[in-house]
A and B are shown apart, each in its own frame.
Chain A
Amino acid sequence: DAKTTQPTSMDCAEGRAANLPCNHSTISGNEYVYWYRQIHSQGPQYIIHGLKNNETNEMASLIITEDRKSSTLILPHATLRDTAVYYCIVSVGQGGKLIFGQGTELSVKP
């Protein structure tokens, strides 16, 4: 699986949009971009995934650049409960071995 690069930490003001970047310059054509998050003392939680097109669900939006070498996860109105470590993962979708990196520790502040 391709490697991803994320900032170690980010801050965001409550109520503002949180934009979390991820670089995956060696991504292959058949690899998806997945985002998970892990709130302290809990197991990771799936957020969203995409291949080429931008995606939106009730939790977040995923913007993938045209060359697919980077992506941005957007939490439109961050709340204190969004404080967590956010993991960007690329995978071919053939199962099993999702490789979690160190992720971005997002702190949402009042």
Chain B
Amino acid sequence: GAGVSQSPSNKVTEKGKDVELRCDPISGHTALYWYRQSLGQGLEFLIYFQGNSAPDKSGLPSDRFSAERTGGSVSTLTIQRTQQEDSAVYLCASSRQVVDEKLFFGSGTQLSVL
């Protein structure tokens, strides 16, 4: 596609439920990144992928968070047993390669945990 696509755009869930957030990067981009942004806050790095591997998982807040990428393309961020503090906008970005830090961001998924 023309840009980074994220789905769903909005997700409302109940505390304790699991959620999956999807990111479709720009075709041909080998690097993919996940950030989150809580209300009124800056961007918090979560994880990045080079191809299908994730060299740096240090930003994941807890073991309830996991991410995978298959076929060097689509990535899924999974949050298990969601908590209210997980409520945020989850942003995905991609770049041609890891050393190219011209990131292209999607519009994000607004996650609300009730």
Contacts and interface: CB of A to CB of B under 8 A. Distances in A.
A94 B103 contact: no
Interface residues of B, number: 27
A52 B100 CA distance: 17
A56 to B, nearest CB: 16
The A contact surface, by secondary structure, is loop
Interface residues on A, range: 20 to 34
Contacts of A93: 99-101
Interface string B24-52: 00000001010100000011010010100
Interface stretch (B65-73, B76-84, B104-112): B104-112
Contacts of B16: none
A101 B42 contact: yes
Contacts of A102: 42
Nearest to A32: B101
B91 interface: yes
Contacts of A49: 101-102
A95 interface: yes
Contact of B98 (A44, A96, A100): A96
Contacts of B103: 36, 44, 46, 98
Contacts of B95: 95
Given A43-B93, A43-B107, A91 B42 contact: no
Interface of B: 4, 31, 33, 35, 42-43, 45, 48, 50, 55-56, 59, 91, 93, 95, 97-108
Given A43-B105, A44-B91, A96-B50, 9 more contacts: A43-B107, A94-B99, A95-B98, A95-B101, A96-B33, A96-B45, A96-B48, A97-B48, A103-B42
Interface of A: 32, 34, 36, 41-46, 49, 87, 91, 93-103
